[in-house]
Structure 1
């Protein structure tokens, strides 16, 4: 590709910048304050597991070169890692947990794409797996810093965000390079459709993130603890003034 031509991945990033920023803010607001609660973390893994698993299964079912090429390294396949984490956080019966309407709608949309326009599944593979290699790594590190000291979070290594000894930076570069190579062979109409669907990826992600329960409970607990500390400090100050 000529150096004067904008890379397709750059074009996608610019086109999705606004909704991507909203998505990042929502994830941070929803999960950053809930990093202490393993059930909430498990709930987040639960909704995204079904999306990642669907994409990996669809790639195998469809046997399309373009979809398979995006999995630039075997380590990108995350289905079994999700399953191991879900068993740890939600127990052996996690598969029987109900799906939210937002998740059901997301899966139905992917099913429609698989049937009617399967190449657009690449938009989901690209943004979700790149997100796991980027934001997923940041969240994993935050959990190690902010997790409760008495929780297993400090002894258990999350499998879904752990990529062994892989060079994450190189993995992301290879991933983008393949996406750009695939885009070169698309028509302009196909590229426009891919960009439009890329925005839909973040809309759908926001809806399932918003469906994860438990954050309010965690927030209330944190506020309760903070309030207790304030009351103790106020009591100390009042006692000091009374006996000064």
Structure 2
């Protein structure tokens, strides 16, 4: 057991701060800019659905007490919510869409951990679900404020990020508390391995975010529109000066 005075969750946050910041910047840059393109939003949901679904299904396969405890509230089971949103954004046939190489590699890594060291899967549960409760809520609010191309249509409410039935602040506190209790039973070596795997979580998240198609096209379209507006304005200015 570590002699550090910091809580284990605090140690993880400090150890992953750099890669976590890179991950946040990547997600914000690629998704916030693309909020108006529903297929891009759906593509992001698609890649993360497979990771969350794997982690939730692993509960039944493994039946490990600590792993089960980490799902501190039934509302953390988000698989069906993902599926409802995917049907809305990508259509009824979303399950037939191909997985990227990055996503296949991510899932293969999780499968290897399940066989060799299932305790480390909890690093993915902790960071991904905490991310959904934190950054996921922020992105959902941005999407609600700035997204949506058809204001005349009834606004769709994302199921994945809807935690209206619980106190999210308390849920995050409970989540961290259970993670710290689990870590108390780990050896120093086990805690260090868990922290190292935590960095891997963010690295692999970045790879699947990069694999989502469509963002670059959205950005190009936005730049094209901005350039067109700029040319129109400049043309008007030049015409005005010529005929002044």
Map 1:111-122 onto structure 2 (within 5 A). 111-122=111-122
Question: Partner residue of 1:187?
Answer: 187
Is 1:124 the counterpart of 2:119? The answer is no
Per the TM alignment, residue 235 of structure 1 is displaced from its structure 2 partner at its CA by: 2.2
Unaligned runs of 5+ in 2: none
Instruction: Label 1:240 to 1:148 Cα distance change in 2 as closer, same or farther (>3 A).
Output: farther
Is 1:62 the counterpart of 2:58? The answer is no
Question: Partner residue of 1:74?
Answer: 74
Question: Partner residue of 1:206?
Answer: 206
Per the TM alignment, residue 59 of structure 1 is displaced from its structure 2 partner at its CA by: 1.1
Instruction: Label 1:113 to 1:148 Cα distance change in 2 as closer, same or farther (>3 A).
Output: same
Instruction: Label 1:136 to 1:153 Cα distance change in 2 as closer, same or farther (>3 A).
Output: farther
Distance 1:97 1:229 in 2: 36
Per the TM alignment, residue 188 of structure 1 is displaced from its structure 2 partner at its CA by: 1.2
Unaligned runs of 5+ in 1: none
RMSD (Å) for aligned C-alpha atoms = 1.4
Could you tell me the TM-score, scaled by structure 1's length? 0.95
SS at match of 1:142: helix
Instruction: Label 1:180 to 1:103 Cα distance change in 2 as closer, same or farther (>3 A).
Output: same
Distance 1:151 1:179 in 2: 42
Per the TM alignment, residue 148 of structure 1 is displaced from its structure 2 partner at its CA by: 3.9
Per the TM alignment, residue 224 of structure 1 is displaced from its structure 2 partner at its CA by: 1.2
Q: How many residues align?
A: 241
SS at match of 1:34: coil
SS at match of 1:199: helix
SS at match of 1:36: coil
Question: Partner residue of 1:38?
Answer: 38
Per the TM alignment, residue 166 of structure 1 is displaced from its structure 2 partner at its CA by: 1.3
Question: Partner residue of 2:19?
Answer: 19
Answer with 107-116 or 226-235: which moved more: 226-235
Instruction: Label 1:129 to 1:47 Cα distance change in 2 as closer, same or farther (>3 A).
Output: same
Per the TM alignment, residue 152 of structure 1 is displaced from its structure 2 partner at its CA by: 8.3
Write out per-residue CA displacement over residues 157-195 of structure 1, whole angstroms, 9 at most, x where no aligned residue.
Answer: 111111123111111111000100111111111111110
Distance 1:154 1:176 in 2: 37
CA contact (8 A) 1:19 1:203 kept: yes
SS at match of 2:72: coil
Per the TM alignment, residue 119 of structure 1 is displaced from its structure 2 partner at its CA by: 0.7
Per the TM alignment, residue 28 of structure 1 is displaced from its structure 2 partner at its CA by: 1.3
Instruction: Label 1:39 to 1:20 Cα distance change in 2 as closer, same or farther (>3 A).
Output: same
Instruction: Label 1:116 to 1:37 Cα distance change in 2 as closer, same or farther (>3 A).
Output: same
CA contact (8 A) 2:36 2:149 kept: no
Where in structure 1 do 4 or more consecutive aligned residues deviate above 4 Å? 151-154
Distance 2:164 2:201 in 1: 27
Instruction: Label 1:40 to 1:214 Cα distance change in 2 as closer, same or farther (>3 A).
Output: same
Distance 2:97 2:104 in 1: 13
Per the TM alignment, residue 240 of structure 1 is displaced from its structure 2 partner at its CA by: 2.0
